[in-house]
Amino acid sequence: MAGISNIGKIPELRKRIFFTLSLLAVYRMGIFISVPGVNRVEMENYISTGGGGSILGMFNMFGGGALEKLSVFALGIMPYISASIIIQLMTVVVPKLEQLKKEGEAGNRKINQYTRYGTIALSLVQSYFMAAMLEGMGRGGGGGFSGAEVVADPGMSFRLMTMLTLTTGTAFIMWLGEQITERGIGNGISLIIFAGIVAGLPDAVAQLWTLSAMGEFDLLSLIFVLLSVAFTVSAVCFFEQAHRRIPVQYTKRMAGRKMYGGTQSHLPLKINVSGVIPPIFASSILMFPAQMAGMIDTPWMAQFSAAMQPSDWRYNVVYVAMIVFFTFFYTAVTFNPVDVAENLKKGGGFVPGIRPGKKTAEYIDRVLSRITVGGAAYLSAVCLMPILLQKGFGVPFSFTSIFGGTALLIIVGVALDTVQQIQSHLITRNYEGFSGPKGPRIRGRSTNK
C-alpha cells in the first residue's frame, strides 16, 4: 500500500495515469454507440444463444462486447494489428522497408504511417463483409440466424454507411492507442485490448456462478476449474518473467589513470521474448478468413467456415502452428544476436569459453532458439486451455475465453508491463516500488505494436 500511495506524490505520473484512464473511459463509452440502421437486441440474442462460441464470439471478446452491441467500434483494434503483421513481414522481404527500419526514429515514423494506411484499407474490406453478414442474419443467409432481421433496411446504402462508421471507429481507436502510448502510461494498443477483455470479467464470473447454482456444475468440477485458472495465472507470471542468464566477463582496460573493467555480469535472454504478440497475431489472422467465409453462401465455404470455429480441431492445429511461427518470427525481428555480440565486443565483454564476434553471435542465437522452443510450447499450452475446459467440463465459452488462453495472457502480460512502467517512474524519482525496499522488483514484458 505504501508503494501505491507513492503514485500520488509524482505529478507527472499522476497526470499520465489519469490521462490513460480518461481515454479508456472514452473507448468504453463508444462501445454503446451502435451503427445506424441495426437491431442490436437481435444481435445480442444471436451472440448469447450460440454465436458466442463461434469465431464471432472471439471477435466480440477482443472488442469488449462491441460486436454484440453492433457498436461503431465493432471491428476493434484487430485491423491495426493485422496491418502491423503485414508491414513487419514486408520489412523482411522489401528492401525499401528494411532500409527505413534501419533509419531510426524517422524511418519508424514512416513505417507507422504505412501501418495506418494499411489499417484503413483492411477496415474498409472487413466492414463491407461484416455489413453483408449482418444483412444475411435472420433471413437464412450466411449468418445462419433464424430470428428477426438484424438490419432493418438492407442495401448498398446500409453497406456504405457501415463501412464509413466502422472504419472511422477503428481509426479513432488507433488514435486513442497512440495517444495513450505517447502521453499516458503503458502500451496504448495493448491497454485497449486489455480494457475490452476485463470488461467481460463480471459477466463471465456471474454466468459460471449461475450454472453452478443450477446444478450443471458439481463442486469438484468448479474447484478444478478455479484451480486451473489459478495455475494458469501463476504459469503466465512465471514464464513472462523467466529468463536464461548468459555469463559475461569484461576485460580490464586503462582510461587515463583509472582501471576499468574486470567485472562479471550476465546477459538475460527471456524465455518468451515475443510476449503476447504471437497469440494476438494468430487470432487476428484467423478471424479475417473465418469472417469472410461466413458471408459467402457456398457449400465449400460453409465447410471452411465450420473448420474455422474455435471448437474445431483443425482450427486449433492451425492456431498452434501460427503461434509457434510468430513466436520465432517476432523473436528474430526484435532480437539480433549479431548486434548484441558486436556491442559486447566493443564494450570489452565476452562470454567465457566463446570467442568474441561471430562465434558469440552463433552461441547466443543457438541458446535463444532453444529457449524459444520452450516459450512457444508454453504459449500454445495456455492458448489451448479454453478448449480443454469446454470439452472436459462443459465450462461456458464466455468464461473460458477470458480465464484461459489468449485473453488471460493479455490480461497478465499487460498488467505486468504497466506495473513495471509505473515502478520505473517511482524508482527514477527515489520512491520505492510496489515490492518495498527489500522485495524483488516486478519485471514486465516488452511489447512492440
Residue 47 C-alpha cell reads as 451472440
pLDDT in tens, 238-284: 888 888 988 888 876 656 666 655 677 888 888 888 877 888 778 77
Assess whether pLDDT exceeds 60 at residue 372.
yes
Assess whether pLDDT exceeds 60 at residue 440.
no
- Please provide the average confidence, as pLDDT, over all residues in the chain: 79
Pick from 97-111, 208-222, 426-440 the range whose average pLDDT is largest. Answer: 97-111
- The pLDDT score that the predictor gives to residue 143 is 45
Residue 387 C-alpha cell reads as 478448449
Pick from 56-65, 171-180, 341-350 the range whose average pLDDT is largest. Answer: 171-180
Domains and CATH numbers, the chain: 2-428 (1.10.3370.10)
Assess whether pLDDT exceeds 80 at residue 137.
no
Closest CA to 412 of 436, 378, 437, 367: 378
Cα–Cα distance measured from residue 306 to residue 432, given in angstroms and rounded to the nearest whole number: 53
- The pLDDT score that the predictor gives to residue 124 is 93
Cα–Cα distance measured from residue 16 to residue 201, given in angstroms and rounded to the nearest whole number: 25
Burial 14-45 (b: 16+ CB within 10 A, else e): eebbebbeebbeebbebbeebbebbbeebbbb
DSSP 269-333: EETTTTTTHHHHHHHHHHHHHHHHHTTS-SHHHHHHHHHTSTTSHHHHHHHHHHHHHHHHHHHHH
Cα–Cα distance measured from residue 443 to residue 416, given in angstroms and rounded to the nearest whole number: 7
pLDDT tier at 236 (50, 70, 90 boundaries)?
Answer: confident
- The pLDDT score that the predictor gives to residue 411 is 85
β-pairing, 243-250 vs 253-255, is unpaired
pLDDT in tens, 282-316: 877 777 666 666 556 667 766 776 677 777 778 88
- For residues 202-221, give the mean pLDDT: 75
pLDDT tier at 173 (50, 70, 90 boundaries)?
Answer: very high
pTM for this model (two decimals): 0.76
Assess whether pLDDT exceeds 90 at residue 100.
no
pLDDT in tens, 11-52: 888 888 899 999 999 999 999 888 888 888 888 777 766 554
